[in-house]
Amino acid sequence: MSKTITLDEAAKLLLSWNNIEILTHQSPDGDTLGSGYALACALKAKGKNVRVITCEEIVGNFAFLKDGLETDEDFVCEKVVSVDVATPSLLGVNREKYENIIDLCLDHHVTNDMEATYKYVDSESAAAGEIVLKLIDALGVEIDKHIANCLYTAITTDTGCFKYSNTTGDTLRAAARLLDLGCDSQMINYTFFELTTRKRVELEKYIYDTMEFCCGGKCAVIYITCDIVNKFQLTDDDMGGIESIPRRIEGVRLGLTIKEKSENLCKISARTNGDVSANEFCKNFGGGGHAAAAGCAINENIQKVREMIISKAEEVLNEGNC
C-alpha cells in the first residue's frame, strides 16, 4: 500500500533525497515530459543529481524540454519518482526494472493504481504540470524561463490548449503565472497546435475518407490501420491528437479511434465532450482514463474490434438516452 502524502511532505522528502530518477510514461506526451523535465531542473537547482528516464529517445518537437539537463555518466540511482504515470503498464520498457522500486508517485489520473512508497494524486489538476508547479514552489525553487516553458508545455498539451473540460480556473491561473515568468506560449502553442507535416495531412485525408458514423450520428469512429502507418511511415508524432477529430463533429457524443497495432491487437481511444463518460466506456474493455478522454486495448483483429466497440457504443448511447 502506498502512503498518501501532501505536496509539502513530498517536497521535504525530495529535499532529503539525492540521485533521483524521474520516470515518464510510454508514448510520451507534453505533460509527462514537461512535468518530468521541470521537476528535474528544479531538483538540480537544489543541488541534486537527477535524470529523467524515458521509454524512447526524445527528438522532434519535445527535444527542447531536455535543454540544460546533462547527466553525469557515473550517476547511480537512489530514489525513483514517477510523473503522470497512471498504471504500471505505462512504464513500457522500463516496467520490469522500476515498477517495484518507486519511492514517490505524482499524478493527476483518477484511475491511478501505481504502487509507490509515497503517493500524491490530485485528479482535480488538469495536468501533472499543475501539480509539479505547486511542488516546485514547495521546494523553494525560483521558476526560470526553461522550467516555465516545460510546465506550460505540460499544461497546454493536456488541456488541448485550454479547450478541454478539464481546464479549471486554477489551470488558467497556473498558465497565467507561467506567462508572467516568461514562458514562450506563442512558440509552444504554435509547435503543438498549428505546425503540421505533409504526412499528417495525408493521414487526415485517409481518416476523413474512412470515418464511420453509428448510433444515429452520436458516435463517430476513425481508423488507423497498420497499412496506412506503413504507407506514409507515420510516427506517433504524426498521429498526435488525431483522436479528437471525431468529437468535433456536430451531434457526435462519443468519438472513437481504433489503432491497429498488429494482426490481433488494437488500441482504442475514446473522446467525448464530457457528458458521456469515456472512462466508463473504456472500463468495459479493461481500460480507463478521464471523463472526456480514455483508452483501452483489445486483443482481436480490427474487424472484430470494430464490431465490439460499435455494439457497446449503441448500448451505452441508447441506454442513457443520450
Give residues in contact with Mn ion (CB under 5 A).
31, 84, 128, 158
Residue written as cell 497546435? Answer: 193
Residue 23 contacts residue 114 (beta carbons within 8 Å)? no
Residue 30 contacts residue 142 (beta carbons within 8 Å)? no
CB of 41 to Mn ion, least distance (A): 18
Residue with smaller CB distance to Mn ion, 110 or 181: 110
One DSSP character per residue, 10-58 reads HHHHHHH--SEEEE--SS--HHHHHHHHHHHHHHHHTT--EEEE-SS--
Residue with smaller CB distance to Mn ion, 22 or 128: 128
CB of 127 to Mn ion, least distance (A): 5
- CA distances from residue 192 to 29, 63, 218 in whole angstroms, order as listed: 11, 13, 28
Sequence-separated (6 or more) residues with CB below 8 Å from residue 88: 95, 99, 113, 114, 115
Residue with smaller CB distance to Mn ion, 166 or 229: 166
CB of 223 to Mn ion, least distance (A): 26
Residue with smaller CB distance to Mn ion, 107 or 260: 107
How do beta strands 104-107 and 79-83 pair? Answer: parallel
Helix axes 128-139, 30-45, angle to 10 degrees: 10
Q: What is the rounded radius of gyration, in angstroms, for the C-alpha atoms of the chain? A: 20
- d(CA 296, CA 204) in angstroms, rounded, equals 22
Residue with smaller CB distance to Mn ion, 36 or 232: 36
Residue with smaller CB distance to Mn ion, 84 or 243: 84
CB of 129 to Mn ion, least distance (A): 8
Closest by alpha carbon to 136, among 46, 61, 65, 260? 46
CB of 59 to Mn ion, least distance (A): 21
CB of 83 to Mn ion, least distance (A): 9
Residue with smaller CB distance to Mn ion, 2 or 111: 111
Residue with smaller CB distance to Mn ion, 127 or 207: 127
Residue with smaller CB distance to Mn ion, 237 or 263: 237
Q: Which residue is nearest to Mn ion (CB)?
A: 31
- d(CA 124, CA 103) in angstroms, rounded, equals 23
Residue 313: what residue type?
A
CB of 35 to Mn ion, least distance (A): 8
Closest by alpha carbon to 309, among 274, 257, 263? 257
CB of 215 to Mn ion, least distance (A): 29
- d(CA 105, CA 1) in angstroms, rounded, equals 12
CB of 84 to Mn ion, least distance (A): 4
